[in-house]
């Protein structure tokens, strides 16, 4: 358990109180305002109201926060101005979306989560924060810990998948890594900002920003656990989401922001709105105008207003009219000031401008990017052991629109990434293979167009080569914010290209670059080898080549179910049995498609084979306050050394409330030499067995529990025990 980072030590409390006692109401609401400098930079003379408010606050030295600055010099200059102009010398806090790396871009979070390696996530988050801090940033708007069950939703790329337990572990690790509080003197400390609180991943139809309608049960069992863990891990801030929860948009939702977050969980940090989410309270239809939006948001528990200007404009009036109690403002501004003190911004908000040269793209970060990318890769299919390939091939063809592409592997939300830092797949392969191998390349087609003119040339090189690697998938802007899809197959003519290449009858390896699960059933049926390579960041090509040529044995496992068709969505492993599980007529099925996924949660192959034996449960009957240990022997029966993610699932067979068929409750990533056996032991604690029962309290209900330990959510050894 990571020690909670106390925001309000007595020293900080004292300093906050003394500042507040000297601040005017206008100064307070200025501190509660944050603006996007990038918006201003695009059109500085637009003179729109937001720009005007931002400029006014900057001039008066009252601005709480800016984000999207461009580089350390600008951050230093604006920060210096802020402090000099502020009557009480209050610094700004500079934010940025540092989602999966800064300039050293790591794999998209969905890919990183496939590593099932929280230590890796901790290290990439920490490296990203250090790079950002060297550029004057002390607040990263990450991690995104939304759970989602909908791959149509473009922001699934930014999530760590569908499972609350995995989400908890990853959230904890990410917050711990991203919050760099004791950084070197010359740099800044950094706060994390887990987001989006809450339910944003449950947008109806997978359409970004759409209505969310979830029960309190789903909210508490599935959506909130990662946030709770993030809070317990000491997250210093949280971002409220755009969406509504039970009819009330998050920034206006007292139940979410105050009852749950503050009162139940004891969160002490800053709650910032999402971008113009206060303004959107009007569009949502819960506020008749900006003044009402302002009143609702402050009363619900929103501390900082991101880029609407509404707090600055209306809060003073609302206080003067007695509609908002100033104590609410003091509490909110108190948290913002405490954050700034905690980050030592009052002591030093300037960054040595030369620091970034040694931090950004450091050798350590680039090598971490390669490590993270390799661990994110998931081997989806490998018939006839086509992979790994020998480096001594006589000839090798590489085709497809993602083969030389250095832009799309950066993935969505990589604003500070630079395509020139990216190793393309073709370059990764070139660096790997023997100089004697004849390497042939042709693009074939591009990602989205309907143009087949390049097919002939591409198929000619396929025909000429011993083996072909085809790089296909999505561009980076097909996932991420605002980029939902209604079809989840390969776009454009890529399917046709792959099918034509396979038809030539030579060995073909398909490498997928995508920001979400795809529904490529046809590919699974036709290709012998499929490598899921997501959008892997700057070391994409090297990492994929490491896997293709056997320098790294893939170990990634999917954290989001791959459906067979869009019609199956939402499809997730954590499903319930229903009264009529899939079977014959009048069962929960489709007449025109199977109910099974293309690839289940937790799935991923290796170049070696792992065998599971001897499931032993320490006791067949325990009391509700006891733990039970579950062990299993795993043997590497193949001829390669390899890593395996051993997964433990629990099912409560009969409870006062219907339970999922399986819930992930433990996992362990182990390394096994060829031929080696290891015993993995999990401890299943009462909190793993507890459910929110029919009377809404968390309890371990007596009865039988099933345990499954295996290599994915569908295969494993099963045992049972009873809770008395
Ligand atoms: C996104 C957030 C992001 C914010 C600031 C919003 O549109 O939903 O995830 O942190 O913009 O860029």
pLDDT digits (tens, 9 = 90+) for 480-492: 999 999 999 999 9
Task: Over range 221-236, report the average pLDDT.
Answer: 98
How many angstroms separate the alpha carbon of residue 275 from the centre of ligand 1? Answer: 6
Question: What's the 537 CA to ligand 1 centre distance in angstroms?
Answer: 20
Lowest mean pLDDT: which of 33-47, 158-172, 307-321, 463-477? 33-47
| Ligand 1 pocket residues where CB is under 6 Å | 97, 141, 195, 274-275, 481
Rounded CA separation 160/127 (Å): 18
Q: Which of 112, 78, 111 is nearest to 95 (CA)?
A: 78
Per-residue pLDDT reduced to its tens digit, 608-652: 999 999 999 999 999 999 999 999 999 999 999 999 999 999 999
- What is the tally of structural domains in the chain? 2
553 Cα to the center of ligand 1, angstroms: 36
What is the C-alpha to C-alpha distance for residues 553 and 628, in angstroms, rounded to an integer?
A: 33
Residues 562, 424 within the same domain: yes
- Please identify, among 568, 600, 619, the residue that sits at the C-terminal boundary of a domain: 568
Query: Which of 41, 67, 141, 278 has most ligand 1 atoms within 8 Å of its beta carbon, as the pocket-test mutant?
Result: 141
Distance from C-alpha of 200 to C-alpha of 209, rounded to nearest angstrom? 7
* Percentage with pLDDT > 70 across the chain: 98
- CA–centroid distance, residue 274 to ligand 1 (Å): 6
Separation of 153 CA from ligand 1 center, angstroms? 15
Report the atom number in ligand 1 closest to the C-alpha of 144.
9
Question: Which is nearest to 228 in space by CA: 256, 189, 248?
Answer: 256
User: Among the atoms of ligand 1, which is closest to the Cα of residue 195?
Assistant: 9
Task: Give the pair of three-digit tokens for residue 418.
Answer: 């630079």
Q: Determine, yes or no, domain membership for 511.
A: yes
Which ligand 1 atom is the nearest neighbour of the CA of 241? 8
Instruction: Indicate whether 384 and 486 sit together in one domain.
Output: yes
Q: Which atom of ligand 1 is nearest to the CA of 242?
A: 8
Q: Is residue 466 among the annotated active site residues?
A: no
> Is 552 within the bounds of a domain?
yes
**pLDDT, tens digit, for every residue of 161-220?**
999 999 999 999 999 999 998 766 678 999 999 999 999 999 999 999 999 999 999 999
Nearest CA to ligand 1 atom 7: 275
HSE value, Cβ hemisphere, 13 Å, CA-based, for 480: 19
Q: Are residues 552 and 649 in the same domain?
A: no
What are the two backbone dihedrals, phi and then psi, of residue 480, each rounded to the nearest 5 degrees? Answer: 95, -175
CB neighbours of 461 closer than 8 A, spacing ≥ 6?
397, 399, 440, 441, 442, 468
Residue 2 pLDDT > 90: no
Secondary structure of the chain: what % helix, strand, coil (to 5)? 35, 20, 45
Could you tell me if 410 and 538 lie in one domain? yes
Contact by Cβ (8 Å): 631, 679: yes
Q: Are 479 and 624 part of one and the same domain? A: no
pLDDT greater than 90 at residue 43: no
Q: Are residues 668 and 559 in the same domain?
A: no
Domain assignment present for 532: yes
Q: Which helix (H) or strand (E) holds 719?
A: strand 717-723
Model confidence at 255: pLDDT above 90: yes
* Rounded distance between C-alpha atoms, residue 190 and residue 94, angstroms: 10
For residue 536, the CA-to-ligand 1 centroid distance in Å is 21
Q: Kindly state whether residue 256 falls inside one of the protein's structural domains.
A: no
The single residue of 274, 408, 643, 652 carrying the catalytic annotation is 274
Say which CATH number the domain at 550 has.
3.40.50.1700
- Which H or E element spans position 314? helix 310-320
> Which residue is closest in CA terms to ligand 1's atom 2?
274
Whats the size of the chain, residue-wise? Answer: 724
Whether 49 is in a domain gets the answer no
* pLDDT score recorded for residue 47: 63
Protein residue closest via CA to atom 11 of ligand 1: 275
Which of 97, 154, 271 to mutate for ligand 1's pocket (most ligand atoms within 8 Å of CB)? 97
Please indicate, yes or no, if residue 653 is contained in any of the structural domains: yes
**Structural contact between residues 600 and 593, judged by C-beta atoms closer than 8 angstroms:** no
pLDDT, mean of residues 537-555: 98
* Residue 437 shares a structural domain with residue 540: yes
- Is residue 395 located within the same domain as residue 515? yes
Which protein residue's CA is at the shortest distance from atom 4 of ligand 1? Answer: 275
CATH number (domain holding residue 618): 2.60.40.10
Q: Can you tell me which atom of ligand 1 is nearest the CA of 158? A: 9
Please say which residue of 534, 568, 602 terminates a domain.
568
pLDDT tens per residue, range 323-353: 999 999 999 999 999 999 999 999 999 999 9
What's the pLDDT score for residue 185?
Answer: 63
Query: Which is the closest atom of ligand 1 to the Cα of 239?
Result: 10
Nearest CA to ligand 1 atom 5: 275
Residues 264 and 324: their CA atoms lie apart, in Å, by: 24
How many angstroms separate the CA atoms of 55 and 44, rounded? Answer: 10
Protein residue closest via CA to atom 12 of ligand 1:
97
Of 2-16, 62-76, 134-148, where does mean pLDDT reach its minimum? 2-16
Which residues are registered as beta bridge partners of 467? Answer: 396
Mutate to test the pocket of ligand 1, among 142, 274, 479 (most ligand atoms within 8 A of CB): 274
pLDDT average, residue stretch 385-405 = 98
Position in ligand 1 atom list of the atom nearest CA 68: 12
Mutation test residue for ligand 1: of 99, 132, 481, 484, the one with most atoms within 8 Å of CB: 481
| Cα 143 to middle of ligand 1, angstroms | 12
* pTM beyond cutoff 0.95: yes
- 55 within some domain: no
413 and 530 assigned to the same domain? yes
What does the pLDDT look like over 406-443, one tens digit per residue? Answer: 999 999 999 999 999 999 999 999 999 999 999 999 99
Mean pLDDT of all residues belonging to the chain: 97
- Whole-number Å distance between alpha carbons of 415 and 258: 33
Q: How many other CB atoms sit within 10 Å of the CB of residue 291?
A: 17
Decide if 170 contacts 146 (C-beta within 8 A): no
Nearest CA to ligand 1 atom 6: 275
**What whole-number distance in Å separates Cα of residue 540 and Cα of residue 398?**
15
Torsion-angle region of 556 (φ positive above 0: left; ψ -120 to 50: alpha; else: beta): beta
Rounded to whole angstroms, the Cα distance separating 330 from 336 reads 10
Query: Residue 352: its pLDDT value, please?
Result: 93
Pairwise CA distance, residues 408 & 27, whole Å? 43
> Average of pLDDT values for 525-547?
98
Q: Does residue 619 fall inside a structural domain?
A: yes
Residue 438 φ then ψ, to 5°: -80, 120
Tell me the residue range of the domain where 482 lies. 377-568
For atom 8 of ligand 1, which residue has the closest CA?
274
- Measured between alpha carbons, how far is 680 from 523 in angstroms, rounded to an integer? 35
Q: Are 79 and 59 in contact (CB under 8 A)?
A: no
pLDDT at 7: 87
The answer to whether the beta carbons of residues 517 and 565 sit under 8 Å apart is no
Cα 612 to ligand 1 centroid, rounded to whole Å: 44
97 Cα: distance to centroid of ligand 1 (angstroms): 7
- CA dist 723 and 160 (Å) reads 32
- Do 513 and 643 fall into the same domain? no
Last residue of a domain, one of 511, 535, 568: 568
Contact between 657 and 693 (Cβ < 8 Å): yes
């Amino acid at each position: 358990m990571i020690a909670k980072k106390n925001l309000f030590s007595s020293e900080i409390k004292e300093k906050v109180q003394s500042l507040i006692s000297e601040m005017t109401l206008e100064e307070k609401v200025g501190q509660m305002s944050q603006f996007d400098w990038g918006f201003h930079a695009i059109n500085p003379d637009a003179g729109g109201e937001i720009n005007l408010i931002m400029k006014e606050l900057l001039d008066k030295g009252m601005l709480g926060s800016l984000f999207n600055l461009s580089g350390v010099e600008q951050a230093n200059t604006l920060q210096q101005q802020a402090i000099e102009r502020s009557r009480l010398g209050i610094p700004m806090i500079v934010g940025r979306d540092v989602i999966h790396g800064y300039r050293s871009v790591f794999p998209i979070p969905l890919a990183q989560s496939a590593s099932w390696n929280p230590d890796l996530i901790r290290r990439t988050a920490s490296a990203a924060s250090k790079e950002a801090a060297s550029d004057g940033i002390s607040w990263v708007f990450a991690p995104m810990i939304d759970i989602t069950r909908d791959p149509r939703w473009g922001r699934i790329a930014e999530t760590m998948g569908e499972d609350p337990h995995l989400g908890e572990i990853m959230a904890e690790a990410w917050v711990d890594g991203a919050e760099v509080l004791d950084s070197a003197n010359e740099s800044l400390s950094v706060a994390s900002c887990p987001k989006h609180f809450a339910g944003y991943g449950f947008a109806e139809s997978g359409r970004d920003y759409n209505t969310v309608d979830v029960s309190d049960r789903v909210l508490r069992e599935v959506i909130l656990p990662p946030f709770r863990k993030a809070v317990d891990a000491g997250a210093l801030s949280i971002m409220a989401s755009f969406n509504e929860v039970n009819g009330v948009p998050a920034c206006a939702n007292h139940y979410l922001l105050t009852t749950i977050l503050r009162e139940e969980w004891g969160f002490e940090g800053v709650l910032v709105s999402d971008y113009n989410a206060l303004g959107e309270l009007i569009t949502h239809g819960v506020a008749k105008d900006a003044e009402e939006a302002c009143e609702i948001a402050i009363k619900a528990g929103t501390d900082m207003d991101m880029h609407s200007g509404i707090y600055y404009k209306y809060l003073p009036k609302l206080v003067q009219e007695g509609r908002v109690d100033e104590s609410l403002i003091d509490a909110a501004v108190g948290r913002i000031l405490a954050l700034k003190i905690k980050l030592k911004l009052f002591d030093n908000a300037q960054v040595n401008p030369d620091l970034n040269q040694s931090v950004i793209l450091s050798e350590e970060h680039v090598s971490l990017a390669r490590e993270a990318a390799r661990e994110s890769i998931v081997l989806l299919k490998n018939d006839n052991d086509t992979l790994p390939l020998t480096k001594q091939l006589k000839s090798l063809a590489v085709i497809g629109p993602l083969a030389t592409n250095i832009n799309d592997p950066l993935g969505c939300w990589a604003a500070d990434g630079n395509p020139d830092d990216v190793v393309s797949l073709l370059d990764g392969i070139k660096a790997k293979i023997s100089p004697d191998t004849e390497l042939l390349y042709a693009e074939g087609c591009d990602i989205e167009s309907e143009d087949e003119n390049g097919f002939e040339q591409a198929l000619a090189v396929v025909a000429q080569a011993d083996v072909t690697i085809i790089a296909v998938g999505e561009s980076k802007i097909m996932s991420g914010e605002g980029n939902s899809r209604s079809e989840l197959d390969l776009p454009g003519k890529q399917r046709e290209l792959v099918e034509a290449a396979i038809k030539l009858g030579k060995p073909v390896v398909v490498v997928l670059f995508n920001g979400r699960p795809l529904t490529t059933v046809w590919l699974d049926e036709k290709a012998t080898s499929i490598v899921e390579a997501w959008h892997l960041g700057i070391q994409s090509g090297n990492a994929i080549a490491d896997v293709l040529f056997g320098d790294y044995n893939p170990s990634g496992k999917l954290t989001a179910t791959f459906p067979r068709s869009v019609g199956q969505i939402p499809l997730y492993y954590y499903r319930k049995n229903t009264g009529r599980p899939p079977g014959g007529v009048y069962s929960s099925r489709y007449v025109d498609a199977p109910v099974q996924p293309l690839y289940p949660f937790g799935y991923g192959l290796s170049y070696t084979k792992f065998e599971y034996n001897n499931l032993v449960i320490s006791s067949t009957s325990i009391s509700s306050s006891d733990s039970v240990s579950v062990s299993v022997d795993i043997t590497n029966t193949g001829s390669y050394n390899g890593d395996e993610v051993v997964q433990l699932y629990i099912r409560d067979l009969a409870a006062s409330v219907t339970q999922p068929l399986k819930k992930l409750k433990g996992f362990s990533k182990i390394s096994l030499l060829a031929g080696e056996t290891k015993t993995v032991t999990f401890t299943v604690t009462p909190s793993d067995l507890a459910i929110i029962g029919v009377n809404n309290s968390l309890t371990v209900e007596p009865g039988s529990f099933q345990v499954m330990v295996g290599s994915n959510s569908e295969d494993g050894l099963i045992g049972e025990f009873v809770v008395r």
